[in-house]
Structure 1
């Protein structure tokens, strides 16, 4: 019985894909899993979709030929492919399932949480023997969707592999807040209102699609960097996990999604030893507070008061929690824990 994992690449292997996805492949191969490459979508438009339909069919036919009864295959869901094209993998996955292959789906994203149906989500996930969810809220959602008969384990946080510990990221200044991620106005409109907050709180922005306009007091745009370089450039005393248009809550499609998902930026901050600030209604809030990884607030307007009343000892406790969790994330401990627990549960059943 062998263990395999799908890794997604394009025709130029030097091209960087999603760090979260790449890290999963690296963690598994380091633990002895065999990587099976498939292509990811490379462009846009009908010609590329037609080309990738043929490529995807051939990729998954090749994958199916390599697996035998009793083998395990881990697939990262959704596939990094056009949704309609990715559904070409379903018959091959179903065939593997029927011949006794154990299927694990590690969930990165669920379109149904955004009200999008018809992308094959149910057809994929109903084939899984194990579903790896972000957190307990996502697990409960999956059970409500009819997957309660499956093994579901929570990742809690995405791993964030780094060869060495970044040493200069945490400035030890809780009033200096990092915001990393896509700064597109329709996703992170709140960043264009940060200047309305008390200027004692200073924000450093990192990421693509920032629309520079009227300068905001206390807000500095620091540029855009590849994922592998970002840990060397981040500087701040807290990392902010927030989405939507408003300062007083996380709203809209992206803000509401925080009630179910674990943003990869939280792992970035913690891997850099920086404690986090999260929305108190987000799925991460309880975990962050319980493990002393940061603070949860209902509104960004609370920050001056929260920081004013935070003692140096309290802040250092959060920094220590971030450093300890960061060490786990940098070595891939979160995914390793989930897979070990699943294997142990299977062994108990067979004994």
Structure 2
């Protein structure tokens, strides 16, 4: 009988209803499902880490589970690790059991919030893993000089977005493509308060924590919905906008700067809804958007006032998006990397 040597686990936090509606849990849940579909065994299937007692019990359970793993197993771990204490024990356990750790990185804290941890310290933790999956090549360029040379680093390019494939394409013919959707934590996206300055487009906002005292005809707030409902709600718009920071002229401040290196999960949500993309030329996803021919790159959101696209070019974007969509909803981005690691 063949001994299973590929394992996975993750801690799913007790998200509030508001946070669930910005898809905080979905990328982690999807990654776990994809690993299981690729033959990994979940060593923490019933996480109940609510309250101090629940977290301590879950910590003990996963520590014992790792100690019981066969020598030289592979262990898929998602970062940031939701149970902070585990981060102190993992390097020792991986070394003790000669486990090949696979680190799947959702956020690099030293880039997103350098006041909390510096790149050297964070990379030291990353170096405990033989295989590291990062967002894109721009993120790899920042971190690779700090990683051990024998570490294998993979570029994900875009997060998967698992869905049941009941998609119906919007066949509407339009002379002007000006309906743009923005989703996510709107409380962090300060730039949305200035969208009223862009008169020739309509912006449709979805997500929690939206506060704006202005009433603008071109900015419409639709409330906060679940990731599953969002997919159905936004599919009839023309573009999905990926932008961050407090300015519409450029990516700025903490979140705007982080967007120069990361793959926002809303990118995947828009593709799953069949929407071409509008984003900054500075964005970490810009190269992928251009190579895949799935959207428009701009210097500033002011560029949208004069932006027009032919229906022929729009259909080309749309077809490329729909082809990419098939891969994302089936989990093929992560699956392809896992197969390289396993084979």
Fold-level match, TM-score > 0.5?
yes
Size of the aligned set, in residue pairs, is 328
Asked whether the 8 Å contact 1:176–1:203 carries over to 2, the reply is yes
How many Å apart are 1:283 and its aligned residue? 0.8
**2:208 alignment partner in structure 1:** 208
How many Å apart are 1:189 and its aligned residue? 1.0
Asked whether the 8 Å contact 1:190–1:246 carries over to 2, the reply is yes
Classify 1:93/1:63 alpha carbon distance in 2 versus 1 (closer, same or farther; 3 Å).
Answer: farther
How many Å apart are 1:40 and its aligned residue? 7.5
- Choose the corresponding residue for 1:4, options 2, 7, 14: 7
CA–CA distance in 2 between the matches of 1:230 and 1:261?
A: 22
Asked whether the 8 Å contact 2:270–2:277 carries over to 1, the reply is yes
CA–CA distance in 2 between the matches of 1:66 and 1:122?
A: 27
How many Å apart are 1:53 and its aligned residue? 5.7
Classify 1:60/1:274 alpha carbon distance in 2 versus 1 (closer, same or farther; 3 Å).
Answer: same
Query: Is 1:275 matched with 2:282?
Result: no
CA–CA distance in 2 between the matches of 1:70 and 1:125?
A: 18
**1:225 alignment partner in structure 2:** 225
Query: Is 1:126 matched with 2:124?
Result: no
3-state SS of 1:8 partner: coil
3-state SS of 1:229 partner: helix
Asked whether the 8 Å contact 1:206–1:221 carries over to 2, the reply is yes
How many Å apart are 1:171 and its aligned residue? 5.9
Query: Is 1:251 matched with 2:252?
Result: yes
**2:332 alignment partner in structure 1:** 333
How many Å apart are 1:278 and its aligned residue? 1.0
Gaps of 5+ in 2: none
Query: Is 1:183 matched with 2:186?
Result: yes
CA–CA distance in 2 between the matches of 1:148 and 1:41?
A: 36
CA–CA distance in 2 between the matches of 1:147 and 1:211?
A: 45
How many Å apart are 1:65 and its aligned residue? 2.7
The two structures have a TM-score, normalised by structure 1, of 0.86
**2:78 alignment partner in structure 1:** 76
**1:88 alignment partner in structure 2:** 86
Deviations for 1:31-82, whole angstroms, at most 9, x for unmatched residues?
A: 221112274764xxxxx4x54662353133222133111211000001123x
CA–CA distance in 2 between the matches of 1:127 and 1:133?
A: 15
Asked whether the 8 Å contact 2:179–2:202 carries over to 1, the reply is yes
Q: Which has the higher contact order (CA 8 A, sep 6+)?
A: 2
Deviates more, 1:102-111 or 1:224-233: 224-233
Deviates more, 1:61-70 or 1:236-245: 61-70
Gaps of 5+ in 1: 43-47, 345-351
- Choose the corresponding residue for 1:102, options 87, 97, 100: 100
CA–CA distance in 2 between the matches of 1:87 and 1:294?
A: 42
